Amino acid sequence: MIDSRPRLLETAYAQAVALKRRQLWLGISLLVILVLFSGHFAEISFSKLHENIGSFVSYFDRIAHLDNGRPVISDPAEWFWGWKKWLALMGETLLMAYLGTLLGATAAFVLCFLASQNLTQSKGVVFLTRRLLEFSRTVPELVFALIFVVAFSLGPLPGILALAIHSAGALGKLFAEVVENIDMKPVEGVVAAGGNWFHKIRFAVLPQVASNFASYALLRFEINVRGASVLGFVGAGGIGQTLLEVIRKFYYADISALLVMIIATVMIIDAVTERIRHKLIGMDARS
Amino acid sequence: MSQVTTPLADTTQPGERDQLRQRYASHFKPLYQGNWTAIFIGLVAFALFAFGIYKLDMTFARIWGGLGELGKMVVLMMPPNPGTWAMTKVYLYAMLETLSIALLGTLFAALVAFPLGFLAARNTTINRLVQFMARRSFDTLRGVDILIWALIWINVVGLGPFAGVLALFMADLGIFGKVFSEAIEAADNKPVEGVLSTGGSNVASVRFGILPQLMPVLLSQVLYAFESNTRSASIIGIVGAGGIGLILSEQIRTMDFQPMSFVILLILITVAIIDFLCSKLRYAIIGARAR
């Protein structure tokens, strides 16, 4: 009689542990089965990797040397022989990212109010806008770029449009989330004073969301700079086309020069926009 | 009643408005006054926009003509139709290949990043130099786009999905290394002290003090990465690294419209299903922590 209560606890504990163990093992065995299947589908071959891993390591060795066999660092002028052309291409890439972000953010700005439940009464409009935004951000920008290259012909234009549509989808969702989290009291105040829809947005919503919107748009610009640097792979402008060419033609020193240029640009852009974003968020916290 | 129905009725007394204007001068001044930085930024932004439109040849005629072409293409794409059953099987197989690439790339990266994350975290690293080097290596891995990794790996293991798995692995290693180490740094030290104070070993303190805090965060990050990798894996085929991207890019180049829209639809549906499953799973994991 004295022992029965602790034993009850013990058995309950043992059962709970056993249940968790079973779940864990079930999960692990499911994962192992999935991995084996995927390994078959993805043609995993560790022997191939083992045989060729040397060429992966030597690849980085090769791109670190000039054609004459000396390390790239020893002769930066020779390494960056095409810097004028490449800088122009990098500038074009940045400009593409800028235009894509600006156009996308503008579209997202217009659509986000229609996608927020607290500002749009009609459930149908909210639903349709959300599905439209979802579609634009689910289709990868490279797919849009491929299709636009056919429709608009080669060049930066299809790339910009692809970036803009993808950005509109991604930013529209984030913007709508910000708008749905605003304080509704200023909106009610504007409505009570007889303001129309435009007044509501301008005087009640915008002051609450502007810094967040700007911060998200800057983050998107960072992402779009990375995106724009590979859009050239499908002929949609920017530095990607040249990069693809030098990789395919094994101009090793050029590969490293272009990669260094892209990575450095991306890092600088990241650092600058991060500082601006922290300032914007700080502004938000103070007000 | 009549006062309420007229919108924006001016209810101020004759002299009151001037008084208000005096008292709250900053509220009455025009918007452009004192906002010179904002105006300057706006002008520069607009100038850059105009320069971009000129420089990148975004003429109205080109956009208008392209939209017409695009409209024609969309009409030709309807309805989505894979053609024969044999082709449907090819598409489904390519989609499975895509999912396999995403799963394996994510999983391998998570397994390798787990120990490396401890090296890159301030509180568990060996020394500052190792931490700094680990962090910078992750930054570099992340700085190179998945498509570029794919091109490099194609040179090593040849065309095919294996190169795609390795490309996703490289890019994800950079992401996981960063978020894992941040999660480790954010872990609370009190459970560890609790375990140690009851006589637990160092291993026990990690197992019962840190891992329970870490696992939900790490697993949900891995699930997020798997979602985004499904999207990435569906495009790396464009450069020849396996998956459905190769088929899609060929269809677009050969203007094979109806099968193209079928493949795009297939990708969208698969991504939606994966997103749904992952969010269910993530909720289950985070719910388990709440309990």
| Residue B34 confidence (pLDDT) | 65
**Reported ipTM exceeds the 0.90 cut:** no
Q: Confidence band (pLDDT; 50, 70, 90) for A283?
A: low
- The residue-averaged pLDDT of A143-167 equals 90
**B104 and A CB contact within 8 Å:** yes
Predicted confidence band of residue A3 (pLDDT cuts 50, 70, 90): low
Using alpha carbons, list the distances in angstroms from residue B120 to A169, B88, B130, B208, B211: 34, 46, 7, 21, 17
Question: Does B288 score more than 70 pLDDT?
Answer: no
Confirm or reject contact between B64 and chain A (CB < 8 A): no
- Residue range B6-15: average pLDDT? 64
* A161 CB-contact burial (10 Å; exposed 0-12 / middle 13-18 / buried 19+): buried
Q: Which of A31, A142, A191 to mutate to test the interface with B (most CBs of B within 10 A)?
A: A142
- Please give the share of chain B, as a percent, with pLDDT higher than 90: 7
Helix/strand/coil (H/E/C) assignment for every residue in chain B: CHHHHCCCCCCCCCCHHHHHHHHCHHHHCCCCCCCHHHHHHHHHHHHHHHHHHHHCCCCHHHHHHHHHHHHHHHHHHCCCCCCCHHHHHHHHHHHHHHHHHHHHHHHHHHHHHHHHHHHHCCCCCCCHHHHHHHHHHHHHHHHCCHHHHHHHHHHHHCCCHHHHHHHHHHHHHHHHHHHHHHHHHHCCCHHHHHHHHCCCCHHHHHHHHHHHHHHHHHHHHHHHHHHHHHHHHCCHHHHCCCCCHHHHHHHHHCCCHHHHHHHHHHHHHHHHHHHHHHHHHHHHHHHHHHC
Residue B4 has pLDDT above 50, yes or no: no
| CA B202 – CA B207 distance, rounded (Å) | 9
Provide the 10 A C-beta neighbour count for residue B90.
16
pLDDT value of position A5: 65
Nearest to A283 by CA among A178, A223, A217, A209: A209
Number of neighbours of residue A25 by Cβ within 10 angstroms = 10
Q: In angstroms, what separates the C-alpha of A118 from chain B's closest C-alpha?
A: 23
Q: What is the pLDDT of residues A94-142, one digit of tens each?
A: 999 999 999 999 999 999 998 888 888 888 899 999 999 988 988 888 8
pLDDT band at B31 (very low <50, low <70, confident <90, very high): low
Which of the two residues, B9 and B109, has the higher pLDDT score?
B109
Domain ranges of chain B: 85-290
Q: State residue A4's pLDDT score.
A: 60
Indicate if the pLDDT at residue B19 is higher than 50. Answer: yes
Q: What percent of chain A has pLDDT over 90?
A: 21
Residue to test with chain B: of A32, A143, A229, most B Cβ within 10 A: A143
Q: Does the pLDDT at position B48 exceed 60?
A: yes
- Note the pLDDT tens digit of each residue in A175-233: 998 898 888 899 899 989 888 888 888 888 888 888 889 889 998 998 899 889 889 88
pLDDT of residue B3: 42
Give the pLDDT confidence of B146-170 residue by residue, as tens digits. Answer: 888 898 888 888 888 888 999 999 9
Average of per-residue pLDDT values in chain B? 83
User: What pLDDT is recorded for position B9?
Assistant: 58
Closest Cα partner for A226 from A101, A137, A108?
Answer: A101
CA angle B45, A89, A163 (to 5 degrees): 55
pTM of the model: 0.81
Asked if B222 is an interface residue toward chain A (Cβ–Cβ < 8 A), one would say no
Q: Over the stretch B227-274, which tens digit does the pLDDT of each residue have?
A: 888 888 988 888 888 888 888 888 888 888 888 888 888 998 998 899
Which residues in A lie closer than 8 A to residue B162 (C-beta atoms)? 42-45, 48-49
Inter-chain CB proximity A157 and B58 less than 8 Å = yes
Predicted confidence band at A6 (pLDDT cuts at 50, 70, 90)?
A: low
Cα Rg of chain B, angstroms: 28
The residue whose two tokens read 């095409």 is A82
Q: Are A99 and B53 within 8 A, CB to CB?
A: yes
CA A127/CA A180 separation, integer angstroms: 14
Higher pLDDT, A104 or A59: A104
Beta carbons of B148 and A259 less than 8 Å apart: yes
Give the nearest chain A residue to B108 (CA atoms): A35
> Phi first, then psi: what are they for B212, rounded to 5°?
-60, -30
Chain mean position to CA B210: 27
Say if residue A163's pLDDT is above 90.
yes
CATH topology of domain B85-290: MetI-like fold (1.10.3720)
> Over 90: is that where the pLDDT of A287 sits?
no
pLDDT digits (tens, 9 = 90+) for B57-115: 777 888 888 888 888 888 888 887 777 888 888 889 889 899 999 999 999 999 999 88
